[in-house]
Amino acid sequence: MIISKHLLGLEGVRREEISLILKTAQSFKEVLSRPIPKVPTLRGKTIVNLFFEASTRTRISFELAEKRLSADSINFASSGSSVAKGETLKDTVRNIEAMKIDMVVIRHQASGAAHFLTQCLEAGVINAGDGQHEHPTQGLLDMMTLQEKFGRLQGLKVAIVGDITHSRVARSNIHGLMTMGVEVAVCGPATLLPRDIAAAFGQDLLVFKKVDEAIQWADAVNVLRLQLERQKNGLLPSLREYALHFGVTRRRLEDAKREVVIMHPGPINRGVELESDLADSEFSVILDQVTNGVAVRMAVLYLKSGGEQEVMNGNGA
Amino acid sequence: MPRKLETKSIKNLLIRGARFIDPSQSLDQHGDLVIENGLISRFGNNLPAPQNFEMLDGHDLVVSPGWCDMHVHFREPGREDKETIATGCAAATAGGFAAACPMPNTSPATDKREIVESIIKKSQDTMVDVYPIAAATKGREGKELSEMAELVEAGAVAFSDDGCAIATAELARRAMEYANMLGVPIIEHAEDATLDERGAMNESMFSTKLGLPGMPTVAEDIIVARDILLAAYTGARVHIAHLSSARALELIRWGKQRGLPVTCEVTPHHFTLTDEAVATSNYDTNTKMNPPLRSAHDLEAMIAGLQDGTIDVIATDHAPHSIEEKETEFAAAPFGITGLETALGLIMTRLVKPNLLTLSAAIAKVTVAPRRILNLPAVQIKEGQPANLTFFSPTKTWMVDKTKTYSKSRNTPFHGWELTGKVFAVYNKQQLWLNSEF
């Protein structure tokens, strides 16, 4: 299988590649449980983490993945757009590349920023979240978590609840899950559902107007973080109303009389999109998602740096 | 650096065996034309060559009245790093345009007599007749009317806050009333800013996929509806700039059917590209402009509007930007692309060659129509008239190369495109420019 050295999104990524990443991630997860959770796989490789937007868990997760693979990793953090800093994004990254690096992990507030980097750089580019576009490693770790929980992906029903318009997590999940044969639904206030959703993602994508209907239907519910500024921007009447009508609560799960797995990409606004108690309940796999995040990112970094052949030969970890 | 335009001062010229098309007199015939002292002295067949005349062989060439682009951005004063009046005019000539109307979103805005006069003065050494469009409101701020009467005296031919719409319905009404008193039109950039805030591309399945904030067509439709109703109420002439929405076109059709004084223009990129280009180009910032590239449905409507005459004019919205401003993440890039040097090729390739529009109808939209809307001196192929001519081949093919532009800027999505239709020469102000790469 020929795979790109970049991971820009899950749109268009083939089923075989996703399966390979998830399988590789499983073997790296085993590494993480060893007394010395480290392999020499990427020794001598240099990876730069470029974070133009505040992030705690994704940055730490990538850093840990790099360290577990014995790569040399460097962090660059800058908030605000590159224009505001007076240096263009292109200049910033070309300067960094001139220091001889192998791979770039980028988080940026602008959709398409990772694509843009591929036009400026020779190095491989891993998208750690670009604006409202995609967050492919989040999509992969969500799939890994689902696969662990249910033993399969094919035929599962997953509902994504919340602010779909502004969510890169939603887009990566929709593309990845649909490729893997999962039935996908979205549910959220009309003001937070993007335009022409069926044309964009396919007629198979279901839309629920009521969260109760989504819970009734789903095997797993992926609850998105609600950005607090949506109220200020006039997209929501109030957080209170959101919590009342779209918040995922234990009561709603009990009413559905179904065992539904709860996922959340974090950080959680407890009591807004997700009831606090539910986040820590037996339904929740939120901390498994975090653990799997490191394994998935190890798999991505490894495969994208040219390790595919070894995986095929069973020497992956 | 942009290329330098080499022009020759020529008072007397004989053009042999060309196809002359002048839609203002339904003229379409082969013949010879003699220019003496910059005036058309004879037009006919097998004319004897006067002595000491330069001669141009016009076989396989079309000669039309000099083209007029009623919507350009020359960036002077303020952003001379992107374009100057001199380089903008050079790009116009190279694109076959003998006249151009620069929009007032300069820095400072073109809202004072001195700025209008300075733009005209700086264009006098060029081959282009430059007719500035002045700001409708002071500083284009949408608060107070600009000093329109004085601006018209200085040479402004219309008023616009292009870059944005005139901010409120009340101000738009007053601007129309005042402009109407002066006999000049209001040119509207139809966009309800509240609906487009932070937008980067057309709101559609593609903005949904790409995660880019959308600019819905309804933002355009609302202002077009507003201005048609205000035109009806005030009797003032309104011209809608760079139309892009199918529904806005329907509204204009409705207005025209009722005899309202409404006209409009479309850009070559809006009848050539759709919003899908943002996706297929992986966020190429040369697919970012305002109004944005719209859907295939809108594009088809633009072509139908050109065909049935609802769209009067083709104008480029030539919007030069520096490389560093465009080579950035999509959201941070400025809106706009260059257009002067690719317009003729796109008109021939996309409209005339596939028989969507006749050659004569296409020429009318870049000659007769813009000059009529702006009350500019008519340009005709007629004995006794000043010679103001565009020469081109409607069938010759060429490759767009952004590194070879006369414009100072290179922000075009058409780099590498093969186009049919190539400029051969322009004659105006007793000067001739011959395309050395023809």
B58-105 tens-digit pLDDT = 999 999 999 999 999 999 999 999 999 999 999 999 999 999 999 999
Shared-domain flag, residues B130 and B217: yes
B1 assigned to some structural domain: no
Among B204, B208, B212, B326, the strongest candidate for a mutation testing the A interface, having the largest count of A CBs within 10 A, is B208
For residue B95, the enclosing domain spans 66-373
Interchain contact, A194 vs B207, CB within 8 Å: yes
DSSP string, A239-292: HHHHHHHH-B-HHHHHHHTS--EEE--S---BTTTB-HHHHTSTTB-HHHHHHH
Going by pLDDT thresholds of 50, 70 and 90, the confidence category of residue A308 is low
The C-alpha atoms of residue A275 and residue A160 are separated, in whole angstroms, by: 16
Residues of B at the A interface (Cβ-Cβ below 8 Å)? 203-214, 216, 282-283, 324, 327-332
Residue of chain A with shortest Cα separation from B211: A133
User: What's residue A2's pLDDT?
Assistant: 64
CATH code where residue B183 lies: 3.20.20.140
Shared-domain flag, residues B142 and B206: yes
CATH code where residue B51 lies: 2.30.40.10
User: What's residue A258's pLDDT?
Assistant: 83
Residue B300: CB atoms within 10 A of its CB come to 13
User: What's residue B388's pLDDT?
Assistant: 98
Q: Which residues lie below 8 Å from residue B336, measured CB to CB, with a gap of 6+?
A: B73, B288, B289, B290, B317, B319, B320, B321, B411
Mean pLDDT over the full length of chain A: 92
Decide: helix, strand or coil at residue A312: helix
In chain B, the number of structural domains is 2
Shared-domain flag, residues B335 and B403: no
Smallest Cβ distance to A88: which of B210, B213, B324? B324
The set of catalytic residues of B is 317
User: What's residue B51's pLDDT?
Assistant: 81
Write down the H helix ranges in B100-196: 113-123, 148-154, 169-182, 193-196
Q: Identity (one letter) of the amino acid at B104?
A: P
Shared-domain flag, residues B72 and B57: no
**Does A316 score more than 50 pLDDT?**
no
Backbone dihedral angles phi then psi of residue B196, each to the nearest 5 degrees:
-110, 5
Shared-domain flag, residues B30 and B59: yes
Backbone dihedral angles phi then psi of residue B315, each to the nearest 5 degrees:
-135, 155
**Which residue in the block uniquely carries the two structure tokens 């903005």?**
B207
Residue B17: CB atoms within 10 A of its CB come to 15
Residue A30: CB atoms within 10 A of its CB come to 11
Shared-domain flag, residues B234 and B350: yes
Q: Distance from A121 to chain B by nearest Cα, in Å? A: 13
Classify residue B287 by its DSSP letter.
Answer: G
Decide: helix, strand or coil at residue A14: coil
Shared-domain flag, residues B197 and B239: yes
Write down the H helix ranges in B183-287: 193-196, 205-210, 217-234, 246-257, 276-280
The DSSP bridge pattern shows strands B7-9 and B431-434 to be antiparallel
The C-alpha atoms of residue B406 and residue B93 are separated, in whole angstroms, by: 9
User: What's residue A233's pLDDT?
Assistant: 84
Of the candidates B373, B406, B426, which is a domain's last residue? Answer: B373
B378 assigned to some structural domain: no
Smallest Cβ distance to A112: which of B203, B208, B210? B210
**Is A142 in contact with A222 (CB distance < 8 Å)?**
yes
B353 assigned to some structural domain: yes
Q: Residue B29 has which token pair?
A: 């015939």
The C-alpha atoms of residue A80 and residue A84 are separated, in whole angstroms, by: 7
Q: Same topology for domains A15-134+290-312 and A136-285, yes or no?
A: yes
Q: Residue B358 has which token pair?
A: 């006749």
Q: Give which of B137, B159, B63 is closest to B379, Cα–Cα.
A: B63
Interchain contact, B328 vs A199, CB within 8 Å: no
Decide: helix, strand or coil at residue B390: strand
The C-alpha atoms of residue A172 and residue A129 are separated, in whole angstroms, by: 10
**Cα distances (Å, whole numbers) of residue A283 to A2, A202, A249, B119, B351:** 38, 30, 11, 70, 61
pLDDT tens track, chain B, 438 positions? 789 999 999 999 999 999 999 999 999 999 999 999 999 999 999 988 888 889 999 999 999 999 999 999 999 999 999 999 999 999 999 999 999 999 999 999 999 999 999 999 999 999 999 999 999 999 999 999 999 999 999 999 999 999 999 999 999 999 999 999 999 999 999 999 999 988 999 999 999 999 999 999 999 999 999 999 999 999 999 999 999 999 999 999 999 999 999 999 999 999 999 999 999 999 999 999 999 999 999 999 999 999 999 999 999 999 999 999 999 999 999 999 999 999 999 999 999 999 999 999 999 999 999 999 999 999 999 999 999 999 999 999 999 999 999 999 999 999 999 999 999 999 999 999 999 999
A225 close to B (CB below 8 A): no
Domain A15-134+290-312 has CATH 1.25.60.10: no
Interchain contact, A110 vs B206, CB within 8 Å: no
- Return the CA Rg of chain B: 21
The C-alpha atoms of residue B29 and residue B17 are separated, in whole angstroms, by: 10
Q: Distance from A106 to chain B by nearest Cα, in Å? A: 13
Residue A290: CB atoms within 10 A of its CB come to 16
Write down the H helix ranges in chain A: 15-32, 57-68, 82-85, 89-97, 113-120, 136-150, 168-179, 197-201, 211-217, 229-232, 239-246, 250-256, 276-279, 286-302, 308-312
B2 assigned to some structural domain: no
**Which residue in the block uniquely carries the two structure tokens 């028989």?**
B355
Q: Distance from B107 to chain A by nearest Cα, in Å? A: 20
Q: What is the pLDDT of residues A143-175, one digit of tens each?
A: 999 999 999 999 999 999 999 999 999 999 999
Q: Which residues of A touch B329 (CB under 8 A)?
A: 81-82, 89, 108, 110, 112-113, 116
**Does A263 score more than 50 pLDDT?**
yes
Q: Identity (one letter) of the amino acid at B116?
A: V
B169 assigned to some structural domain: yes
Interchain contact, B329 vs A171, CB within 8 Å: no
Shared-domain flag, residues B52 and B161: no
Residues 170-209 of A with CB under 8 A from B: 171, 194-197, 199-201
Residue of chain B with shortest Cα separation from A120: B327
Shared-domain flag, residues B285 and B417: no
Shared-domain flag, residues B344 and B405: no
The C-alpha atoms of residue B386 and residue A275 are separated, in whole angstroms, by: 80
Interchain contact, A110 vs B211, CB within 8 Å: no
Interchain contact, B214 vs A110, CB within 8 Å: no
Q: Give which of A12, A112, A24, A29 is closest to A293, Cα–Cα.
A: A29
**Is B34 in contact with B14 (CB distance < 8 Å)?**
yes
The C-alpha atoms of residue A205 and residue A40 are separated, in whole angstroms, by: 42
Q: Is the dihedral of CA B287, B288, B294, B295 positive or negative?
A: positive
**Angle B198-B102-B25 (CA atoms, 0-180°, nearest 5)?**
120
Interchain contact, A111 vs B282, CB within 8 Å: no
Of the candidates B373, B392, B411, which is a domain's last residue? Answer: B373
**Is A224 in contact with A167 (CB distance < 8 Å)?**
yes
Interchain contact, A200 vs B282, CB within 8 Å: no
The C-alpha atoms of residue A13 and residue A307 are separated, in whole angstroms, by: 18
Decide: helix, strand or coil at residue A169: helix
Q: Which residues of B touch A111 (CB under 8 A)?
A: 210-212, 283, 330-331
The C-alpha atoms of residue B163 and residue B142 are separated, in whole angstroms, by: 12
User: What's residue B48's pLDDT?
Assistant: 87
Smallest Cβ distance to A196: which of B205, B212, B332? B205
Indicate the CATH number of A136-285 among 1.10.1200.30, 3.40.50.1370, 1.20.1250.20, 3.40.50.620.
3.40.50.1370
Among B196, B329, B415, the strongest candidate for a mutation testing the A interface, having the largest count of A CBs within 10 A, is B329
A33-39: long-range contacts at Cβ-Cβ below 8 A with a sequence spacing of 24 or more?
A37/A68, A38/A67, A38/A68, A38/A69, A38/A70, A39/A68, A39/A69, A39/A70, A39/A317
Shared-domain flag, residues B349 and B427: no
The C-alpha atoms of residue A299 and residue A312 are separated, in whole angstroms, by: 13
**Which residue in the block uniquely carries the two structure tokens 């990427």?**
A42
**Angle B29-B34-B35 (CA atoms, 0-180°, nearest 5)?**
125
Decide: helix, strand or coil at residue B269: helix
Decide: helix, strand or coil at residue B168: coil
pLDDT > 90: percent of chain B: 97
CA-based end-to-end distance of chain B:
21
Interchain contact, A111 vs B283, CB within 8 Å: yes
Of the candidates B339, B373, B407, which is a domain's last residue? Answer: B373
Q: Residue A6 has which token pair?
A: 């970049």
Going by pLDDT thresholds of 50, 70 and 90, the confidence category of residue A313 is very low
Smallest Cβ distance to A81: which of B204, B205, B332? B332
Q: Give which of A109, A105, A108, A139 is closest to A125, Cα–Cα.
A: A105
Q: Distance from B142 to chain A by nearest Cα, in Å? A: 23
Going by pLDDT thresholds of 50, 70 and 90, the confidence category of residue A92 is confident
Q: Give which of B135, B149, B156, B159 is closest to B181, Cα–Cα.
A: B149
Per-domain residue ranges for chain A?
Answer: 15-134+290-312, 136-285
Shared-domain flag, residues B71 and B52: no
